[in-house]
Chains A and B, each alone.
Chain A
């Protein structure tokens, strides 16, 4: 039935899968050191990246049926999203490289394979044009999450016994399995309804017309809503976000970075499949833009909930997890108004988001890797980050800039441009209630970022004396809900704010341990990208044609 295959178009998907196969094959033939698997994975992702970059700027189809559409189509926006997924996967791999020595040799190939398969799934999703590819893509992208959460090495306190650790891993794997299954179940239902409504498995504009002709539009609407719900799970959109912060609190750093970048992009890819069909249908009729109020609601709920919860967090990783919830809201915001520019706007935002999040994760993990003792000490909110800009500018400055980018405030014009991009379709479609809540969230997001930046810029020597918290933190915790629970907090002496001004004169009490190179590389390459796109935002969006 299929007339042409055009496997070249699918190379960005095939390359990581080939690398995964290679990992397993090598491991079967003879055991190699773990680092070899990392190398194979890097080559696979790089190959996919090159293939995706070559495909930028044109529309190509694969698995085309005679007289009917293609099962996979890669347009400029889709290729842009594929490039992003692969870039994100590359960053995750780089972050994992720093912790790779701790991986047990028997687990190394499994972890590499899981990461590669998840990447391949996320790359396949933007190209999917039929129900089957949609399902397979989502399963490939999300199912490996269970294994990654369970198997990746983590910093476990030495006091915990081996059985304890195993038990924790199993519990986390179970938690990870729930969203994967829920997401797939919702998508399965959505696909079935789509077929019922349109009479075809293809998810294109013509299919939407078919439903209109057949008078099954309500079925189609139900299918779209279920599809949105299914995609909302990997996107960590409220109210489907519950699993995110739960897992991200426990899972190892690189896995959290994976869940926050590659997996979120997979969710975006899955969401784009039905939305793109609606966009195509709208472009044919030139009707006023359809308004997906459901998606608008999810977007503003996520922003608000994510930002509010981020304000309450006292540790960097959970804070980042909630920040991802808020950012996902921004990410899907343009799709609430179905206009021809919506998908490009979402992918443009995704670009800034993935780069900024990679920088943030690199910095947070970099700090944590060299300061494990402080990282797990109860105390000051974000205690391990006090004075980071002065203590370790190589990590503090990129982190501050990434946070400003996520908040979307100049000097991080890249972040502001991204916000402009996603607000434009909503404003153009006069969806005022969505736009106004989004604007309020600009301020909320700024508070979240400033609270952290305050800590980064705050004067702080290496060893901070423990004493009851005084009003010194007034400016960063003001108007924020009082953190609950902790009994002792670490505070800076009241005069140290002044001392900070001249802290260049004071010498740190202990030399900082060096940061692993890969953290620095990810942080600074990302910051360079953000800086360049701040000066010339046009570059950012030329990627999308």
Chain B
């Protein structure tokens, strides 16, 4: 179907529909009125955004099925083209991010209901416009077959996300919110800036920005390749995030509004891992080889570090963020170990992590919203008793996160550990086995985290203060994401088969 009009329309619709909806929502911001009209606006923005995102998701499915491609020159001076297409590596992530972003847009948010003296309706439209912009940009990043466009798309996500945290973050102190937002923006700008620098070095020396051509790799170890790989990994490690560049995440994660947390954890963090696969694994195999032990060490330290923090952290939002650092550490370990097993594990891990993170963000967001704070020390009613639907979601999410067999993350963690135990050629097997053992220790710590969360939040006899259970949309989101976890857990081959050919080609391209 390559080149047909229908296919081109489908692939263009994936990023353009959310973009269009965002523009509509921003421009439609006229008039202002009482609460009822305000609620109406909130609903309307949900409808506009939800329809656009659903259609965009449908277009993403069609794109993955038919694999159309669109190519337009964009910045001829640099040989940069708007070349959109999808392959086995981006397909699972594209589907996952589309679904998750749709949920993020339709979830009810605090900006929908009038509260706290803020006229919420200024918010609703622009709030969803920001979410849609992030969705459009991340879809572009995943679809782009051009390295420079990938980085530009990554940068486009930053300002809307910053605005979301800054303006609609949890009702904490202004300064706290501003601090989290500004920290996010500055670290991310440095991260994407480093990525840009590395990509430009790659593009200028190789004379092309085409990811397919770049992925053929170059032969021979030279210091320049290692330097470029170092800059790229450093930049992408900020957005993944890899220890010790993770420190921005817990604060931002806990402060951002639920939908922004979903986009951050399920869309942006996987994009960082995807960037590592696309920009480093394929184009710079020798550079990665040289840096792999260092990268793996950082990842493993991150896993243990986050695992230890998870045992003592008192803020539920931050707790989930630390768990995300640990999961992403596993993904990065797999990328560093390399080989088909490693890459497949990384891709599966990114997809599964996206789903789990979204599920937990929905549940935790709902809980924190009802509790009024995320502090675990405050006495609360057991979620099991008062909000069984949320309780189910929480149990499922936590179980998946700690790697219970039959749920998606289990396969990803298992194959990551296997890949680290038997790393690809050019990696020091001894070191990687040591890392695998450490990662296992981290996984055990994470299990302790799971037990702790369930004990403190889910179990118990207290029924006061009562909280309301999940609403319809929230419940639907929990069911959908839970199903996805189960399906991926039972049939991980869905993702693995989709990506196998292209992963083999990515690695085979390197001489």
Contact = CB atoms under 8 A, between A and B. Distances in A.
A420 B148 contact: yes
Contacts of A417: 75
Given A421-B78, A497-B174, A538-B74, A427 B200 contact: yes
Interface string A513-545: 000000000000000000000001110011010
A498 B174 CA distance: 11
B78 A428 contact: no
By Cβ-Cβ distance, the 6 closest A-B pairs, closest first, are: A428-B204, A475-B178, A502-B119, A541-B77, A439-B193, A427-B201
A428 B207 CA distance: 10
A341 B75 CA distance: 14
B78 A420 contact: yes
Contact of B231 (A424, A425, A432, A544): A432
A18 B422 CA distance: 78
B203 A474 contact: no
B224 to A, nearest CB: 6
Given A424-B204, A501-B119, A505-B32, A442 B189 contact: yes
A218 interface: no
Contacts of B156: 410-411, 413
A420 B199 CA distance: 10
Given A428-B200, A475-B178, A502 B32 contact: yes
Contacts of A502: 32, 118-119, 122
A137 to B, nearest CB: 27
B205 interface: yes
A179 interface: no
A498 B159 contact: no
A538 B73 contact: yes
Contacts of A466: none
A420 B178 CA distance: 29
B75 A501 contact: no
A210 interface: no
A201 B35 CA distance: 78
Interface residues of B, number: 43
B119 A475 contact: no
B359 interface: no
B119 A409 contact: no
A440 interface: yes
A409 B158 contact: yes
A423 interface: yes
Nearest to B206: A428
B118 to A, nearest CB: 5
A273 to B, nearest CB: 23
Given A446-B185, A501-B119, A411 B201 contact: no
B74 A537 contact: yes
Given A410-B152, A475-B178, A475-B182, A427 B197 contact: yes
Interface in B62-91: 73-78
B227 interface: yes
Contact of A544 (B77, B117, B198, B200): B77
B152 A416 contact: yes
A410 B231 contact: no
A435 B194 CA distance: 9
B504 interface: no
Interface of A: 341, 344, 348, 409-411, 413, 416-417, 419-421, 423-425, 427-428, 430, 432, 435-436, 438-440, 442-443, 446-447, 450, 471-472, 474-475, 478-479, 495, 497-498, 501-502, 504-505, 536-538, 541-542, 544
A474 B178 contact: yes
B365 interface: no
B193 A411 contact: no
Interface in B93-137: 116-119, 122-123
Given A416-B152, A436-B197, A409 B75 contact: no
Given A443-B186, A443-B193, A537 B75 contact: yes
B227 A478 contact: no
B118 A501 contact: yes
A417 B152 CA distance: 9
A423 B197 contact: yes
A501 B123 contact: yes
29 contacts: A341-B77, A409-B159, A410-B155, A416-B155, A420-B196, A424-B204, A427-B197, A427-B204, A439-B193, A439-B194, A443-B186, A443-B189, A443-B193, A446-B186, A446-B189, A472-B174, A474-B174, A474-B178, A475-B175, A475-B181, A497-B174, A501-B123, A502-B118, A502-B119, A538-B73, A538-B74, A541-B78, A542-B77, A544-B77
Interface string B386-418: 000000000000000000000000000000000
A478 B178 contact: yes
Nearest to A445: B189
Among B32, B156, B197, B198, chain A packs the most CB atoms within 10 A around the CB of B197
A440 B447 CA distance: 39
Contacts of B73: 538
Contacts of A419: 196
A478 B196 contact: no
A439 B159 contact: no
Contact of A538 (B75, B117, B203): B75
Interface in B193-231: 193-194, 196-198, 200-201, 203-205, 224, 227, 231
Nearest to A535: B74
Contacts, number: 128
A430 B159 contact: no
A478 B175 CA distance: 9
A499 B118 CA distance: 7
Given A423-B196, A435-B201, A502-B122, 4 more contacts: A421-B77, A501-B122, A538-B74, A538-B76
Contacts of B116: 498
Nearest to A337: B204
Contacts of B198: 427
Contact of A440 (B76, B190, B201, B203): B190
B42 to A, nearest CB: 14
Contacts of B509: none
A427 B155 CA distance: 19
Nearest to A344: B77
A534 to B, nearest CB: 11
A53 B119 CA distance: 52
A251 to B, nearest CB: 33
Among B74, B174, B193, B194, chain A packs the most CB atoms within 10 A around the CB of B193
A480 to B, nearest CB: 11
A46 to B, nearest CB: 28
B124 to A, nearest CB: 11
A232 to B, nearest CB: 24
Interface string B168-184: 00000011001101100
A81 B117 CA distance: 53
A479 B122 CA distance: 29
Contacts of B32: 502, 504-505
Contacts of B227: 430, 432
A87 to B, nearest CB: 20
B123 A435 contact: no
A452 to B, nearest CB: 14
Nearest to A545: B77
Nearest to A472: B174
A10 to B, nearest CB: 28
A541 B75 CA distance: 8
A341 B205 CA distance: 13
Nearest to A494: B174
Given A430-B201, A498-B118, A502-B32, A409 B155 contact: yes
Contacts of A423: 196-197, 200
Contact of B78 (A424, A442, A495): A424
Contact of A442 (B190, B203, B224): B190
A344 B76 CA distance: 13
A536 B78 CA distance: 13
B155 A538 contact: no
A537 B197 CA distance: 19
A447 B190 CA distance: 12
B159 A411 contact: yes
B123 A439 contact: no
